[in-house]
Amino acid sequence: MAPFPGQELAPWNGAAPFRADLPEAEAADLDLRETRPGPGTRQENRAGRAATSRLRSRQGGDFPGCAATPAMFGGMRMSRRLGWMTVALGAGLAAPALAQPDPWAGTWRGELTSGPEASSPVSLTLVAGEGGYTGLVDGLAPNHEVRLDRVVVDGEQVTVEAAADTDFGPLSFVYTLIRDGRDLSGIGRVTAGGHGFDVTLALERARRADVPQPQIEPRIGYFSGSWRFEYIGGEFPPLSVGTREGTVTFEPLPAGPFVRGRAGSDLYGEPYEETWTIGFDEATRAVVWQEERPDGSTLTALGNWTSPIAITFLTAPMEADGRVHVLRRVVRTTSDTAFAVVDEFSVDGGPFRRLGDGSYLRTGDPDPETR
């Protein structure tokens, strides 16, 4: 192989001897790569191979002791491609493993059997959280979902426990179930009204993970009892006095399906009290909500409670400063122990705009006579 004109080419000894044969910029680049952190021998070998490739391409020949061929360089490129393909394939195979669905979360539906001919439909819903699982059981008491007090998962076994007050008295249960794929079965003990009995359960996982949806049976007794509330909204007479928090205790009235309570709160550092009356017609599912204000004004709203998850209200028009105001209210019955309020207002028939939001949390047991 002929050297470059006017140059003497020494035999290659494998230790990057070609700086003299490289342009100044390439030689500087080679020096820089050799000084980077890392295993020195590997850096020098890579630099030597790169220099060999460049000189070979210029001279059109091979160096003594280096049988490099186009097929060899093509193979190196193919190896790099295969390496990247392997990495990508590995990442693709790893992704499904990271996205495996929770084996317990979701709704399991089936039958609860307490005797040879005594069975009823039941569903168990488990929800995954940071501290473990929560959930509820539906089907043990009419129109009543029982929230789980304890959920313990141990391998393929789950134990659930709960206790609640229902229309038929106190109810408690404990189930121990074994999971086998999409099936969940086992035994349990149910105590209702002081009487206990053994049960068996056979459940199957629903095709989709259902989110527990509250189903509150419309009844005037839902509001009976004591509630703590917090309302955040604008001061907008005559519809609202603004942000406040306090308590209200509803008691049934002797005549008709009504409850009444005094709502006491703190308003700008001063005590503030309104009288609220709620009535419900079970036949038409119509609701009336009336608020009597200290200034003598009264807000009256008519509502519809045909949905088990919300009540929609619209107030009678109220006049102030020569303008007509209307309030639209949605009460979301989130559970037997909590509900939320969203208020919107309209002036002179204009579009409705947000006025405020309220949250109510039960602080005592409701009157059992009105449940």
Task: Give the pLDDT confidence score for residue 143 in this predicted structure.
Answer: 55
Contact 290, 231 (CB under 8 A): no
Task: For residue 244, give the H/E element and its range.
Answer: strand 244-252
Q: What are the tens digits of pLDDT across the range 190-235?
A: 887 777 889 899 999 876 545 555 678 899 999 999 999 999 998 9
SS3 state of residue 359: strand
Residue, of 27 and 116, whose pLDDT is higher: 116
What's at 146, amino acid-wise? V
Residue corresponding to tokens 């037997």: 336
Q: What percent of the chain has pLDDT over 70?
A: 66
**pLDDT tens string 331-367:** 988 888 889 999 999 999 999 999 999 999 998 655 4
Strand partners, 328: 314, 344
Is 70 exceeded by the pLDDT of residue 9?
no
DSSP per position, 68-107: --HHHHHHHHHHHHHHHHHHHHHHHHHHHHHTPPPSS-EE
Helix (H, G, I), strand (E, B) or coil at 247: strand
Say if CB 336 and CB 360 are below 8 A apart. no
pLDDT for position 239: 93
* DSSP calls for 127-159: EEETTEEEEEEEEEETTEEEEPSEEEEETTEEE
- The predicted pLDDT at position 365 comes to 59
Whether the pLDDT of residue 14 is over 70: the answer is no
In terms of pLDDT, which residue wins out, 127 or 81? 127
Instruction: Please provide the average confidence, as pLDDT, over all residues in the chain.
Output: 76
What would the two tokens of residue 106 be?
């979701």
The CB density around residue 99, as the number of other CB atoms within 10 Å, is 7
Tell me how far apart the alpha carbons of residues 91 and 134 are, in angstroms, rounded to a whole number.
Answer: 33
Please tell me the predicted confidence (pLDDT) of residue 219.
Answer: 93
Quote the CA–CA distance of 347 and 234 in Å, as a whole number: 15
**For the whole model, what pTM was predicted?**
0.46
DSSP per-residue codes, 150-206: EEEEETTEEEEEEEEEETTEEEEEEEEEEEETTEEEEEEEEEETTEEEEEEEEEEE-
- Amino acid letter, 333: T
Of the given ranges (104-118, 132-146, 341-355), which has the lowest mean pLDDT?
Answer: 132-146
Element (H, E) at 28: helix 24-35
User: What would you report as the CA-atom Rg of the chain, rounded to the nearest whole angstrom?
Assistant: 38
Domains of the chain (ranges plus CATH)?
19-98 (no CATH), 106-205 (2.40.128.20), 220-370 (2.40.128.20)
pLDDT at 162 over 50: yes
Q: Coil, strand, or helix at residue 57?
A: helix
pLDDT over 70 (residue 296): yes
Give the residue among 223, 208, 214, 210 at the shortest CA–CA distance from 257: 223
> Higher pLDDT residue, 33 or 238?
238
Distances (CA, A) of 221 to 169, 346, 365: 16, 31, 11
Percent of the chain with pLDDT over 90: 40
* 214: CB partners within 8 A, 6+ apart: 145, 308, 309, 333, 334, 335
C-alpha–C-alpha distance, residues 17 and 276, integer Å: 97
CA angle 208/213/216 to nearest 5° reads 150
Residue 104 and residue 102: Cα distance in Å, rounded? 6
Partnered with residue 260 across adjacent β-strands are 251, 277
Higher pLDDT, 146 or 58: 146
Which pLDDT score, from 0 to 100, does residue 55 have? 42
Buried b (16+ CB within 10 A) or exposed e, 12-35: beeebebeebbeeeeeeebeeeee
pLDDT at 194: 73
